Structure 1
Amino acid sequence: MSDNANITLVRRAYEPGATPDVTAEIIDPDIVWDIPVGFPYGGVYHGWAGVRSDFFGRLAPHFSSFEAVAEEFYGVDDHVFVCGHYHAVSKSGQQSDARFIHLWTIRDGRLTHLVQTADSHVVQQAMSA
């Protein structure tokens, strides 16, 4: 895929209301999801089913909403870098924004690897609010 085609693919992951069908189409079932240890529930997850249950399944209950807002996309070969922020609303109603950078790897037209770096402190504070 070209850099532009890869960026188009990654953009789909950040579209509001992306359906499970879209997710299943663009994310490889064996994806590696690498979240820094300082981030809530940080670690390396293997497989989309595990990411959904073991990462998002534990993170989501702390928030009324949690959204990754992509702002900039940069494509290089089979990688796309995304700069943006997480916009979260805690169960107590506290809003927070934490900056992130995501590095995606694309193989055969699917997202196969995510490496995330983010302002973990802001997210930890939002969870405890």
Structure 2
Amino acid sequence: MSGSPQIDVVRRFYDAKGDLGVIRAVVAEDARWDVAEGFPNGGVHDGLDRIIGDFFPFLAGFQEFRCVGDAYYEDGDQVIVLGRYIGVTTRGKPVNSRFAHFFTLRDGKIIQLRQTSDTLPIARALQG
């Protein structure tokens, strides 16, 4: 692992690959997801139940979808990750899109994600 408890939490979130048990273990109940417009289910989602119910359903459009962190930076309760979304849609279209994730943690849980990404490759793959 990284030696940083905050980075370890973020890595655990990525490694969950949609496993709701793990997500509930690492994301706070009062978390806020601020996802780039143009990303599937983009917008602001307040609270873990809304994040799970309103944001994560986009995964149904994929056979496989994962976040690959290429670089992790930590400063106190802030973690920045530069990486890539890699996946395959249910129609067999491959996806490879860059992202920047800005996490805030509190008491070992993620309380905020601010995301920006190249949404065009994902939109094109999901359209056909």
Instruction: Determine if the TM-score, normalized by the shorter chain, exceeds 0.5.
Output: yes
Specify whether residues 16 and 106 from structure 1 end up closer, same or farther in structure 2 by C-alpha distance, changes over 3 A only: closer
Aligned residues: CA RMSD: 1.7
In structure 1, C-alpha distance between the alignment counterparts of 2:27 and 2:59, rounded to whole Å: 20
The one-letter code of the counterpart of 1:76 is: D
Using the TM superposition, give the Cα deviation of residue 22 of structure 1 relative to its aligned residue in structure 2, in angstroms: 2.8
**Which residue does the alignment assign to 1:63?**
62
**Which residue does the alignment assign to 2:12?**
12
In structure 2, C-alpha distance between the alignment counterparts of 1:90 and 1:22, rounded to whole Å: 23
Using the TM superposition, give the Cα deviation of residue 4 of structure 1 relative to its aligned residue in structure 2, in angstroms: 1.8
Specify whether residues 118 and 17 from structure 1 end up closer, same or farther in structure 2 by C-alpha distance, changes over 3 A only: closer
Mind listing any 5+ residue stretches in structure 1 that lack a counterpart?
A: none
**1:12–1:18 contact (8 Å) kept in structure 2:** no
Specify whether residues 52 and 7 from structure 1 end up closer, same or farther in structure 2 by C-alpha distance, changes over 3 A only: same
TM-score computed with the length of structure 2 as normaliser: 0.89
Deviation track 1:46-76 (CA, whole Å, cap 9, x = no partner) reads 111111111111x122222211112211001
Mind listing any 5+ residue stretches in structure 2 that lack a counterpart?
A: none
In structure 2, C-alpha distance between the alignment counterparts of 1:6 and 1:71, rounded to whole Å: 16
In structure 1, C-alpha distance between the alignment counterparts of 2:22 and 2:54, rounded to whole Å: 21
The one-letter code of the counterpart of 1:127 is: L
**How many percent identity over aligned positions?**
33
Using the TM superposition, give the Cα deviation of residue 5 of structure 1 relative to its aligned residue in structure 2, in angstroms: 1.8
Deviation track 1:59-105 (CA, whole Å, cap 9, x = no partner) reads 12222221111221100121000111111211211111001110000
Count of matched residue positions in the alignment of Structure 1 and Structure 2 = 126
TM-score computed with the length of structure 1 as normaliser: 0.88
Deviation track 1:102-124 (CA, whole Å, cap 9, x = no partner) reads 00001121100000011101110
In structure 1, C-alpha distance between the alignment counterparts of 2:18 and 2:4, rounded to whole Å: 20
Using the TM superposition, give the Cα deviation of residue 42 of structure 1 relative to its aligned residue in structure 2, in angstroms: 0.9
**Which residue does the alignment assign to 1:37?**
37
**1:96–1:123 contact (8 Å) kept in structure 2:** yes
In structure 1, C-alpha distance between the alignment counterparts of 2:89 and 2:17, rounded to whole Å: 20
